[in-house]
Amino acid sequence: MHNMDKDRFISLEVDSKNKLLNYLKKLESQHGWRPAYGISASAEHTTVLSSCFALFIYELTGELQQFSTSERSEWAEYLKSFQDEKSGLFLDPLAHEEDFANRKHDWQYFTWQTTFFCLSALDALGHTALFPLRFIQPYRGTTALTTWLNGLNWGDPWLESNKIMFLASSLIQSGGLEDVHFIFDWLDRHQDPQTGYWGTEQRADLLNAMAGAFHFYFLYLYLQRPFQYMEQIIDSTLSLQQPDGLYDPRGGGGACLDLDAVDILVKLSLLTDYRSEDINASLQRTCQAVLSNQRGDGSFCEAVRAEPQKSLKRRLAEIFLLDKVLKKPYRIPRFIERYAGWEKMAYGTGEGDLWSGWFRLLALALISTRYSDNKTSDTKWNFKSSAVLGWHDESRLSSVQSVAKRI
């Protein structure tokens, strides 16, 4: 790294990892049983998704390797207890279909997502699901897939791309590679040559499309499929970086958006030399911004945003003491995130949470492997090896690069 001394970067990286692991240990004592976690320290409920995110942090940092066989089995049995035998879906008993009625993230989205992460967690533990993934059967075959893909709302690729990722990953695990390649053949035909994303031709905004495209690129690379318009993808992604080094136009970043951009830039920088210096500088800025995003308790938050200014009416009321007379003291508005729109996984935007903990540490890990010598670094990152979020395999990327250069 040019601007940040490599030794200092490694020191900060190790310190950040250790602080986050200490935060996890505090959550363990709070909930009393390691496999069950709440999304944050203030969470009222433990959820299977939160537990998956905790496990992914242990996996990424290498701590999972220290788990005993009995500890791994305990985690695996906990996760398996959520699988429905009939559909193969993983269902959290705290979640109910009516909770997601008329929501952007509907019941199908939520259950597919829960299944996606539970399967990933079981894979990390060296276990597999108890029952077949029967919920994918209606989407098998070219006719069913064509109808489904054409019917998605490509004006919102961030949302819809998740569904494709959930399905494609389940198909890969179920031996449905022919169907998966059909999906990616379809995507090849519908990729926007101007941006390298999907949905921008349907008037999706560039940021939404970037977040959506991220869900496809890593699967292309996992399948060792070269993809089109790499230079346009790099141009589009770099154009979205904000002055603070992160990617949310509101300032303060966003755990998902920031990781999406980092993953795209890191992986594509291994496939092409195009704008390599710009990518290097961009990732350094993001790295420093993510490191500053870590809270005092060791957790990472969704975003650090400025508090809203008091309205003129509120300021006048305080001048004339009307707030005290009316017993209406000023309360600082609290930005609230709800993971997948679910009330039982609500947390403050500036509060540490496990989703942000995993994604922000993953962003640091990716930058580390690209711009520091990870083979000699004190931090050994353990990326996922299956077709799920968190996958990164430079040997597979190298083989894609050789194919891409021949095209």
Q: How far is CA 187 from CA 44, 172, 228, in A?
A: 41, 17, 10
- Any domain includes 355: yes
Asked whether residue 29 carries a pLDDT value surpassing 90, the answer given is: no
Which amino acid would we find at residue 116?
A: F
Average pLDDT over residues 379-406: 82
- Any domain includes 186: no
Nearest to 379 by CA among 103, 22, 45, 15: 15
At residue 316, the pLDDT reads 61
Q: Which of 189-198, 242-251, 318-327, 391-400 shows the lowest mean pLDDT across its residues?
A: 318-327
At residue 374, the pLDDT reads 44
Which amino acid would we find at residue 403?
A: V
Instruction: Write out the chain in H/E/C secondary structure.
Output: CCCCCHHHHHHHHHHHHHHHHHHHHHHHHHHCCCCCECCCCCCCCCEHHHHHHHHHHHHHHCHHHHCCHHHHHHHHHHHHCCECCCCCCECCCCCCHHHHCCCCCCHHHHHHHHHHHHHHHHHHHCCCCCCCCHHHHHHCCHHHHHHHHHHCCCCCHHHHHHHHHHHHHHHHHCCCHHHHHHHHHHHHHHCCCCCCCCCHHHCCCHHHHHHHHHHHHHHHHHCCCCCCCHHHHHHHHHHCCCCCCCCCCCCCCCHHHHHHHHHHHHHHHCCCCCCHHHHHHHHHHHHHHHHCCECCCCCEECCCCCCCCCCHHHHHHHHCCHHHHCCCCCCCCCCEEEHHHCHHHEEECCCECHHHHHHHHHHHHHHHHHHCCCCCCCCCCCCECCCCCCECCHHHHHHHHHHHHHC
How far is it, in rounded angstroms, from Cα 63 to Cα 358? 13
Give 253-310 pLDDT, tens digit per residue: 999 999 999 999 999 999 999 999 999 999 999 999 999 889 999 999 999 876 555 5
Rounded (10°) angle between helices 276-291 and 230-239: 40
Nearest to 340 by CA among 117, 133, 16: 117
- Any domain includes 376: yes
Give 175-222 pLDDT, tens digit per residue: 999 999 999 999 999 999 999 999 999 999 999 999 999 999 999 999
- Any domain includes 88: yes
How far is it, in rounded angstroms, from Cα 400 to Cα 42? 44
- 98 φ/ψ angles, rounded to the nearest 5 degrees: -65, -20
* 313: confidence class by pLDDT, cuts 50, 70, 90: low
Average per-residue pLDDT for the chain:
89
- Both tokens assigned to 55: 């496990």
- Any domain includes 214: no
Asked whether residue 341 carries a pLDDT value surpassing 80, the answer given is: yes
Exposed e or buried b per residue across 209-221, where buried means at least 16 C-beta atoms within 10 angstroms of its C-beta: bbbbbbbbbbbbb
Domain count, the chain: 1
Supply the range of the domain harboring residue 325.
6-132+241-406
- Any domain includes 165: no
- Any domain includes 29: yes
* 377: confidence class by pLDDT, cuts 50, 70, 90: very low
Contacts of residue 299, Cβ cutoff 8 Å, sequence gap at least 6:
20, 23, 40, 41, 351, 352, 353, 356, 357
- Any domain includes 358: yes
* 227: confidence class by pLDDT, cuts 50, 70, 90: confident
148 torsion bin: left (phi>0), alpha (psi -120 to 50), beta (else): alpha
Rounded (10°) angle between helices 276-291 and 255-269: 150
Q: How far is CA 50 from CA 25, 44, 57, 310, 346, in A?
A: 14, 12, 11, 35, 11
State the burial class of residue 71 (Cβ atoms within 10 Å of its Cβ: 0-12, 13-18, 19+): middle
- Both tokens assigned to 367: 């930058």
How far is it, in rounded angstroms, from Cα 380 to Cα 347? 30
Asked whether residue 233 carries a pLDDT value surpassing 80, the answer given is: yes
- 338 φ/ψ angles, rounded to the nearest 5 degrees: -130, 110
